[in-house]
């Protein structure tokens, strides 16, 4: 079964896309779900880490909102795209070329984002990934992840493409340190057969469990609830 999990495949995809980021299969122009809400809710800019930043759409959004952004990816081409787009927009950010499972975080971040990295990773690296995330998320920090969803226990894995994982298993993976605060699903159809014709993307907004207990769930804005219901 061919997977996109190894680094070689990312080299192939970035080589094929060249400087045209719209050719990347995961290209998106809008910030990932929940980011606008987190920016609005925090009120003032914080520090963000975008792991597996790709062409940098989320990094650019956050930098544009005044956040101090670190964009990490193991593909030089991804960081080149992110830097070129930031320069064109007159934005500053820090880039790190590293495999997240080999990187040593020296800082804490108010927001850590993973839009599509973990679900492309070989499971034997999961513990190393988890450890880095836990070290990077600040005590009252937010963690947002987009991960392909296993909708039913018997939903098969596609021939190629990201690993599908159930919502419960994602929650367990990040527990007890992180607690899910919001979850939304986006169903996507009309895909090629090799990725299974249809799939669902799970969007998760986690917080440090200690800060959720201290503050309670009630302070969540109605704007966030609308965003989730809208999906
Ligand atoms: C599906 S793409 C998503 C890109 C971007 N987050 C976005 O929203 O467009 C996954 C990205 O993670 C990067 N990546 C995958 N595994 C990685 C790893 N172990 N360490 C660092 N980057 C990784 C890939 O190079 C790729 O740019």
pLDDT of 3 above 60: no
Does 37 score more than 80 pLDDT?
A: yes
- pLDDT of 35 reads 98
Q: In angstroms, rounded to a whole number, what is the distance separating the alpha carbons of residues 213 and 218?
A: 11
Which residue in 138, 78, 140, 143 sits closest to 114, CA to CA? Answer: 143
Counting atoms of ligand 1 from 1, which one is nearest the CA of 125? Answer: 19
Cα(222) to ligand 1 centroid in Å equals: 31
Atom of ligand 1 at shortest distance to CA of 10? Answer: 25
- Give residue 78's pLDDT: 98
| Closest C-alpha among 187, 176, 188, 36 to residue 113 | 36
Q: How far apart are the first and last CA of the chain?
A: 32
**What pLDDT, on the 0 to 100 scale, is given for residue 171?**
98
Residue 214: pLDDT above 70? Answer: no
CA–centroid distance, 213 to ligand 1, in Å, is 32
| Centroid of ligand 1 to alpha carbon of 139 (angstroms) | 25
Looking at residue 1, what is its pLDDT?
36
pLDDT digits (tens, 9 = 90+) for 137-172: 999 999 999 999 999 998 888 877 899 999 999 999
For 49-102, the pLDDT digits (tens) are: 999 999 999 999 999 999 999 999 999 999 999 999 999 999 999 999 999 999
Separation CA 98–CA 104 (nearest Å): 10
DSSP string of 42-65, one letter each residue? H-S--EEEEET-TT-HHHHHHHHT
The closest residue, in CA terms, to atom 23 on ligand 1 is 52
The two structure tokens encoding residue 25:
């299969």
């Amino acid at each position: 079964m061919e997977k996109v999990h190894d680094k070689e495949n990312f080299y192939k995809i970035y080589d094929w896309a060249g400087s045209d980021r719209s050719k990347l299969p995961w290209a998106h122009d809008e910030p990932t779900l929940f980011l606008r809400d987190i920016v609005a809710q925090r009120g003032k800019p914080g520090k963000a880490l975008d792991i597996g930043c790709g062409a940098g759409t989320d990094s650019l959004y956050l930098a544009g909102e005044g956040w101090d952004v670190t964009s990490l990816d193991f593909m030089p081409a991804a960081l080149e795209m992110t830097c070129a787009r930031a320069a064109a927009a007159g934005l500053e950010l820090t880039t790190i070329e590293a495999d997240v499972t080999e990187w040593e975080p020296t800082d804490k971040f108010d927001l850590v984002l993973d839009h599509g990295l973990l679900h492309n990773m070989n499971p034997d690296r999961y513990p190393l990934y988890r450890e880095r995330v836990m070290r990077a998320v600040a005590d009252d920090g937010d963690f947002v992840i987009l991960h392909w969803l296993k909708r039913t226990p018997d939903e098969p894995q596609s021939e190629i493409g990201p690993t599908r994982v159930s919502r419960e298993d994602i929650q367990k993976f990040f527990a007890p340190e992180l607690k899910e605060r919001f979850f939304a699903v986006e169903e996507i159809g009309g895909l090629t057969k090799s990725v299974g014709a249809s799939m669902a993307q799970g969007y998760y907004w986690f917080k440090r469990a200690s800060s959720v207990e201290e503050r309670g769930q009630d302070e969540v804005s109605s704007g966030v609830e609308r965003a989730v219901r809208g999906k």
